[in-house]
Structure 1
């Protein structure tokens, strides 16, 4: 006889099976004594299953994920959820209010994990988040964008050693999968150390909504929910597999000046291709920026004013440039074609 489904505990709150609520967990105060909370949406299914955590705005200015979370929570099929879904649309409430990547002390919250009870503000926040939320989950997806003035092609990142995370990455079906080890101090690194497979989704630019990136994000999380058995089986549809990349690096400016960019996100480039020119507004000086190796542009600086050493183009190596072009075009078309049929349902577009 199956065991009775128990309420889910988050903070001091109990969420009954078959219900959903928003739990506010206190995480600090401003110097005005204004309390700041981290709000977590909890959907607790009637049947047993995994506990999937979705987080966004760990960097306060990366707002694409906030909209992905809103659309995700609109999915009618969540009423049939197995297991528990925890959605935290805004982790770094300090940065979100200030439209800043950082905390008030200029520390990066995503370099503060797992944190400590008596460290800096970021360390304390990371500790509380790890203890009260992260440790409650069995799987996680962390939503990010590029930094200010820097855009990312929709991509997911997972450790090559984590088979579950790689399986989640394949089912997410972003245009490209980067096999990359996690950094010290990150939430992904802490999750890996705790044995929690965490998938990182990067797409778009800070302080901007990117509709294509949002659509791919909502579809991707829905795909993972099905992969984990948290949503009912659905009709199989043909899909194009993501590209895999084991190596990526940035092309940097060798001179300061004003840049004219010629290559956009998702374009394939050959080693030696001219990606941009940097010129001086006070002389005839002009220098080309060239690709150091062949691959796909997965990140780009959008600000024409550049300093020497600044990162301009992020290129990922792939096995075949011809196949890469076909794959990227096909996944883009699949997302666009699916949306009109899925509005208000699968992808929560309202």
Structure 2
């Protein structure tokens, strides 16, 4: 799918003609002191017809790995020069949460449950409405970058509706070892994009309020791979270290919850295979007594975990994805640390 480059794209009241690169601030609201809050956007338009891809981050204000990823993407001059179509980069959607280093909006709403939004709704609804109108509805494809929520970390992974052929094709092309077939959630950006028939991927990796090099590299590598897959950039400008890559779609996933309150000692790390009934961690009291083992329900791969040692009964501790052959997935995750070679 491609968009004709004969017309300007208008974002935030600013016209961006073919071949131009511009930064725009989309006005969303004001603070108590009347400081204008704007969503920062950078638009790169090629001179040839092609897809229109949005890449966004910080829909949760404390998820900053994606912000650094977009910075690095925008710095790749050799790749971005001569692109076909348009790249719309939105490093911070939830500017309110970002400025306060928190996940949510000032009214404690989750912006990723406010889509498609409303012109006269809550603050979250209005921001969602503006983002849909100004960005999403002008695009043919989308990638939204996330991390784990506070005190949780995630293995680099793609979450997508693999029942849709095009979305599954792009999910596999992103190149991270694990793809989680994830149902669309009401009020999410992914749901709103699907309603507009826009294929969209959700990348998860790392934890909140941290820059993690491995996660940032894997996200950047995946975005560039998608740009190549949909015909935006020239394959010759991408220099990947030649290694065998295989992507696995999880059959299902589930969280293992704390069977008791106490302090948790983790026994497994992200990306490792665990067998049914294997010990994932041990909960004990302040004296190291009353030890209770946390065990796996099924054989699978650890794709997410709670990093806070102090846990209450029922807290989500380990996110386990199940596969046809978990051992093969573990091996693939182990050598996924290769770097992306890009000549600038």
Q: Using structure 1 for the length normalisation, give the TM-score.
A: 0.93
What are the ranges of 5 or more consecutive residues in structure 2 without an aligned counterpart?
none
Cα drift, residue 264 of structure 1: 0.7
Counterparts of 1:289-300 in structure 2, within 5 Å, are 289-300=294-305
Q: How many angstroms apart in 1 are the aligned matches of 2:315 and 2:282?
A: 14
Q: How many angstroms apart in 2 are the aligned matches of 1:97 and 1:54?
A: 20
Residue 251 of structure 2: aligned partner: 246
Q: Any idea what SS the aligned residue of 2:173 has?
A: helix
Q: Any idea what SS the aligned residue of 1:85 has?
A: strand
Q: Any idea what SS the aligned residue of 1:26 has?
A: strand
Residues 287-320 of structure 1: per-residue CA shift (max 9 Å, x gap): 0000011100000111100011100000000111
Cα drift, residue 243 of structure 1: 1.7
RMSD of equivalent CA atoms: 1.5
Cα drift, residue 48 of structure 1: 0.4
1:32 has 2:37 as partner: no
Q: How many angstroms apart in 2 are the aligned matches of 1:321 and 1:178?
A: 14
Q: How many angstroms apart in 2 are the aligned matches of 1:283 and 1:199?
A: 43
Cα drift, residue 188 of structure 1: 0.3
Contact between 1:5 and 1:46, CA under 8 Å: does it hold in 2?
no
Alpha carbons of 1:239 and 1:226: their partners in 2 closer, same or farther (altered >3 Å)? Answer: farther
Cα drift, residue 44 of structure 1: 0.6
1:13 has 2:14 as partner: yes
Structure 1 runs of 4+ aligned residues shifted over 3 Å read 235-239
Q: How many angstroms apart in 1 are the aligned matches of 2:198 and 2:306?
A: 32
Cα drift, residue 32 of structure 1: 1.3
Q: How many angstroms apart in 1 are the aligned matches of 2:32 and 2:244?
A: 51
Cα drift, residue 283 of structure 1: 7.3
1:309 has 2:314 as partner: yes
Cα drift, residue 163 of structure 1: 1.3
Alpha carbons of 1:131 and 1:281: their partners in 2 closer, same or farther (altered >3 Å)? Answer: same
Counterparts of 1:79-90 in structure 2, within 5 Å, are 79-90=81-92
Q: Any idea what SS the aligned residue of 2:127 has?
A: helix
1:328 has 2:330 as partner: no
Q: How many angstroms apart in 1 are the aligned matches of 2:142 and 2:326?
A: 31
What are the ranges of 5 or more consecutive residues in structure 1 without an aligned counterpart?
346-350
Residue 102 of structure 1: aligned partner: 104
Residue 195 of structure 1: aligned partner: 197
Q: How many angstroms apart in 2 are the aligned matches of 1:151 and 1:164?
A: 28
Counterparts of 1:6-155 in structure 2, within 5 Å, are 6-76=7-77, 77-155=79-157
Q: Which of 266, 270, 273 is matched with 1:265 structurally?
A: 270
Contact between 2:57 and 2:90, CA under 8 Å: does it hold in 1?
yes
Residues 10-30 of structure 1: per-residue CA shift (max 9 Å, x gap): 231111211101111100011
Q: How many angstroms apart in 1 are the aligned matches of 2:118 and 2:59?
A: 17
Cα drift, residue 4 of structure 1: 6.5
Q: Using structure 2 for the length normalisation, give the TM-score.
A: 0.95
